[in-house]
Structures are given as C-alpha cells and as structure tokens.
Structure 1
Amino acid sequence: MSGSFFALLDDIAVLARAAAASIDDVVAGAAKASAKSAGVVIDDAAVTPQYVRGISPSRELPVVWRIARGSLLNKAGIIVGIMLLSIWAPWVFPWLLLVGGTYLAYEGAEKVWHWIGALRGHGDEHTVEEVVERTETDEKQIVGSAVRTDLVLSIEIMLISLANIDAESWLMRLAILIVVGLLMTVIVYGSVALLVKMDDAGFWLRRRRPRALKVLGSWLVKAMPVVFRLLSIVGVVAMLWVGGHILLVNLAEVGVAAPYGIVHDITHAVHGPGIVVWLIESGLSAVFGLVWGAVVVAVLALVARLRFSKPELR
C-alpha cells in the first residue's frame, strides 16, 4: 500500500515538472512573440489616449476600463478565430488584414481632415461645458470607436505573434497567444490609465511638502496637455503607418505587388544606418495609408451626400 502511495507521489512530481516546463515554454514563447509585435503595441498605446480626451476627469478611468474590457473580448474572439482559421482557411488572413488596414487608414485620414478643418477655423474643440455635460451615450460612442480601432490593432498583434511562435502543438500555440493577449492588454491600458491620471497626480503633489514636490506637481500639470497633444499626433501617424504597412504587405500577398515593390526598391536604394531605412519605410507606409484613407473618406462623403441630398422642389 505504501509503495503505491509513493509511486503516486512520484507520478505527481513528474507531472508537476512537466507542467513547469510547459509554463516555461509558454512564457518564453510569449516573450518572443510579444517582442515581434512591440511596434504595434506602441502604436496601440499611442492611439488610445486620444479617445479619452474631452472626458470628465471622474469618468476617465471607468472609460479606460471599458475600453480595456472590450480589448480583452476582442482578443478572445480573435484568438479563437485565427486558431480555427489557421487550420481550415489560412488564405483568408491577408483579406482580413486588408479590411483592417483600410479601417486604420480611414481613421487616420479622417483625423488629418479634422486638423485641416481646425486650421481653417472649423475645429471641434470641446469646451468645459461640453465635457461636463457629456452623456452615457457619448461615452458609449467613444468606447465603441476605441474598441473598433483596438480590434484592428489586436488582430495585427495576434497574427504577428502567431507567425513567430515555433511551437508545433496546437494547444501550446493557443496558450502562448492567450498570454500575449493578456500581457499586451495590461501593458497598453495600464500605460493609458497612468497617462490620463498624471495631471491629477500633479494637482495632488502641488498640495504636498516639501517645495520640490510642489514644483514637480506644477511641472506635471503644465506638461500633460502638451504630452496629450503629442500623443494625439503620434496616434494618428501610428494609424497611418500601421494601416499603410498592413495594406502594402497584404496587397502583395493577394497579387497586387506594385506598391510594395516601389517601397522595397526605394528602401533598398538607400545606403545608410538601419534606423534611417526604417524611418523611410515607415514614412512611405504612412503616406500610402494617408492616400488610401483619403480616398475612402472622399468616397464615403460622396455616398453620404448622394444618400441624404434632398431633391429640389419645383
């Protein structure tokens, strides 16, 4: 009887070692996959804060949480979808990415159009009264827009991660994607939550002693509007860059190789440090995304005008 008991303990120890090894493999695979998708993660962190601008301070963290919750649901659906599609229909990935790239390019181009309108005196800056009076419906629209953008970026993160997973086991790939999804969500929305509450931290520090804390608090309060303006610009450029890159690569995947070929030829003609080549390639991707998005904006505006135009009365 005692021999059977110790044999059982030995089996449990073997299983525990195997589980620990599997966990190590999952963590290592997640770290590698996350590193490959770091660029898109940075873009996601830069894009998201612009959706929280103009919201009452007391509602900032709840809205960030709602977006983060939507991001987790996005990633859960994406992981299930791409794991099944990787078995039955891997050919559909480029077409899905083309749709996502088009959405990002459209969002970026629309923001640029709003900037142009603001320069011409037709801006839509939010007054204090508008911020205070925002309704639950307004917040739902903000959250919905942010979650839709997150959906596209999350698809890109998950697909890049899947492409860089070496594990042959289907379950191991699934476990790694789950870890990547959770890790990326915590990093992105944890950073966003810290950013949006940084000015509140500044006001709190201004009421503390010694004087050095007051100075730091004043600096934070003055700096955060500039930081958010810069993040807004970075977020729009990120949408155009990521959207343009997705479009270029996946147009080539479906047989339209000319745009990607032009970018490839230009970058290979440049003889310089890797960072210079990367900046040129990223700039060209952003320009392509802006042009593509501007076409979509123009087409949708024309459709809207034709759809809602009223016939003249005679």
Structure 2
Amino acid sequence: MATSLLALIDDIASVLDDVALLSKVAAKKTAGVLGDDLALNAQQVAGVKAERELPVVWAVAKGSFINKAILVPAALAISAFAPWLVTPLLMVGGAFLCYEGFEKLAHKFMHSADEQAAEHEKRVSALADPAVDLRQVEKDKIKGAIRTDFILSAEIIAITLGTVQDSPFTTQLVVLSGIAVVMTAGVYGVVAGIVKLDDGGLYLSQQPGSGAWTRFQQGLGHAILFSAPWLMKFLSIAGTAAMFLVGGGILSHGFPFLHHAVDVATQWAIDVNGIGAVLGALAPLAINALVGIVAGALVLLAVTAFKRMKPGSH
C-alpha cells in the first residue's frame, strides 16, 4: 500500500514537472503573439470614454475566455483524433503571423505620416459627432476586438499544442488550459493597466501642494504622461518584430531544408573566434526573422492578388 502511494506521488510529481517545463516552453514560444496582442487590444480601446475603458476591456476579456473555451477542446480533439493536423496548423499559424507583421510594415511605409494623421483625425471627428451612437461604436469595438482575439488565441493554442503534442493527454489538458487562463488574465490585466496609465499620470501630476513628496508625485505623473504614447509604440514595434521571429521560427522548423540551413549557419557562427558565442545566439534569430519577412511578403502578395481577382474588386 505504502509502495503504491509513493509510486502515485512520484507519478504526480513527474507529471507536474513535465507540466511546468512544457508550460515554460509554450509561454516562451507564444511570447511573440503576446506583444502584438497587448498593443492591438490597447489600441482597440482608443476612442472609448475614460469611464468606459475598463468595462470594455472586461467585455473583451470575457469574450477571450469564451474563445479559449472553444479552442482548447478543439485542440485536444485534433491531438487525439488527427495528430497529423498539428504541424500543418502550426505552419498556417506561422505564415499568418508573418503575413500580419509584413502587412503592418507595408501599411506603415505605403502611407505617409500626413495620410495617417488625416485618418486619425477623421476617426476622432466621427466620434465627436453628436449623431454617432457611441453605444453602438463601443459594441462594434468589442466585437472587433473579440474577433481579433480569436485569431491570436488560435495561434497561441496551436503553438502550445505543437509543444505538447507528444505528451500524455493529462499533460496536454493541464498545459493548454493553464496557458489559456494565464495568458488571457495576463494580457487583459496588462491592457487594463495600459489604458488607465494616462489617467494615473494625470492624477499624480495634479496633486496639490509644494512638498518634496508632492513634487515627486507630480514629476512621476508628468513622466508617465510623456512615456505612455512611447510605450504603445514600443509594444507595437516589439510585437511586429516578434511576429517575424516566431512565425519565421515555426516555418524554419517545418521545412527540413530551412531547419538544416539554420543549424549550419549557427554552427558556422559559433566557430568564429572571439565572438562565436554572441554570433551563435544571433544567427538563428536573424535567419528566422529573414524567413518571416520573406514569407510575410509572399503571403501578402498572394492575398492581394486573390482580392484583385474577386468579382467587383475593382
């Protein structure tokens, strides 16, 4: 009896150890999606009244949990009944990440700063129009954010599934569920903090008084107000770069010749005298990024050509 109990405890400890390790690996692999997820969801709240920002974030978070509740069982079913689908799904997800990243770059470089400023001004003017139903605008923003979240969540679940596809069902269930809950709570918790960052900065900057503590709060508030827009820009840039790295990495591992090229280039970089360790770490990142950019450009060209061939596209 005692031996059986000890064996059971050992099995549980082994499973928990596997879960912790695989969760860490999955979280690392999905980090590329999270930067874009943060920036995208924070931007989705732009234009909503300050008192409605947190309710909107909460509504999108609930929609995200529902998305995960659909995607996790679907992923487990695929792993159980059609495991051969895991790699193709990962490749599709990787290609989509590259496409989304390259589309952002293309939009950035194909539209001047004046055009982007005019587009922003047009959105602001539309929201200021008394005839505009702000409740409907809010509902549309929530629906759009949940649709976007579904795509990003599918990428996260697909990448996680690729990490645990060779593990027992229990491990798959715990890791997928854990990643789904932690990522959703983490992303929308941070989004809530980001969208209220300027309010916190404004509150601190307006503290009355002239003492040292008050001046510190006022200075901190002004610093937050100054840095908040730059934080959004950084998240957007980091998210785009991570898309190419993660998407390119998935594609590189999916095609044997690319995977071999990465290994050869990495080994060559490691053999360089003096800076081999640094080059060895940077080489796979650079190749994955290059693969991601090229793949994104090719997918964007294909999507653009398909749209132009559709009836009525002109």
Is TM > 0.5 for Structure 1 vs Structure 2?
A: yes
1:173-206 C-alpha deviation (Å, 9 max, x unpaired): 4234323321222222222222222121111111
Alignment equivalent of 2:36, drawn from 17, 23, 47 = 47
Does 136-145 or 191-200 show the bigger shift? 136-145
The residue number in structure 2 matching 1:7 is: none
Q: In the TM superposition, what are the counterparts of 1:227-246 in structure 2 within 5 Å?
A: 227-246=231-250
The amino acid across from 1:174 in the alignment is: L
Q: Contact 1:109 / 1:297 at 8 angstroms: preserved in 2?
A: yes
Relative to 1, partners in 2 of residues 1:19 and 1:71: Cα closer, same or farther, differing over 3 Å? farther
Q: Contact 2:95 / 2:296 at 8 angstroms: preserved in 1?
A: yes
The residue number in structure 2 matching 1:9 is: none
The residue number in structure 1 matching 2:211 is: none
SS, match of residue 123 in structure 1: helix
The alignment status of 1:248 with 2:252, answered yes or no, reads yes
The residue number in structure 1 matching 2:22 is: 33
Partner Cα separation in structure 2 for residue 218 and residue 164 of structure 1: 51
Does 188-197 or 219-228 show the bigger shift? 188-197
Name the TM-score, length of structure 2 as normaliser: 0.78
The residue number in structure 1 matching 2:202 is: 203
1:201-231 C-alpha deviation (Å, 9 max, x unpaired): 1111112251111110110010010111111
Q: Contact 1:71 / 1:151 at 8 angstroms: preserved in 2?
A: no
Relative to 1, partners in 2 of residues 1:67 and 1:41: Cα closer, same or farther, differing over 3 Å? farther
* C-alpha deviation, 1:19, in angstroms: 11
Partner Cα separation in structure 1 for residue 288 and residue 187 of structure 2: 23
* C-alpha deviation, 1:279, in angstroms: 3.1
Gaps of at least 5 residues in structure 1 are 1-14
The residue number in structure 2 matching 1:264 is: 263
Partner Cα separation in structure 1 for residue 298 and residue 251 of structure 2: 14
Name the TM-score, length of structure 1 as normaliser: 0.78
Partner Cα separation in structure 2 for residue 310 and residue 34 of structure 1: 45
The residue number in structure 1 matching 2:65 is: 72
* C-alpha deviation, 1:60, in angstroms: 3.6
Q: Contact 1:41 / 1:188 at 8 angstroms: preserved in 2?
A: no
Q: In the TM superposition, what are the counterparts of 1:89-238 in structure 2 within 5 Å?
A: 89-119=82-112, 121-123=114-116, 125-127=119-121, 128-130=124-126, 135=137, 136-160=139-163, 162-163=164-165, 168=168, 170-208=169-207, 210-238=214-242
The amino acid across from 2:197 in the alignment is: M
1:77-103 C-alpha deviation (Å, 9 max, x unpaired): 333233233333211111111111121
Relative to 1, partners in 2 of residues 1:84 and 1:283: Cα closer, same or farther, differing over 3 Å? same
1:36-78 C-alpha deviation (Å, 9 max, x unpaired): 1232343233112332323424444344334433432333333
Q: Contact 2:36 / 2:240 at 8 angstroms: preserved in 1?
A: yes
* C-alpha deviation, 1:24, in angstroms: 6.7
Query: Could you tell me the percent identity over the aligned residues?
Result: 28
Q: Contact 2:165 / 2:172 at 8 angstroms: preserved in 1?
A: no
Count residues in correspondence: 288
Relative to 1, partners in 2 of residues 1:177 and 1:218: Cα closer, same or farther, differing over 3 Å? same
Q: Contact 1:78 / 1:158 at 8 angstroms: preserved in 2?
A: no
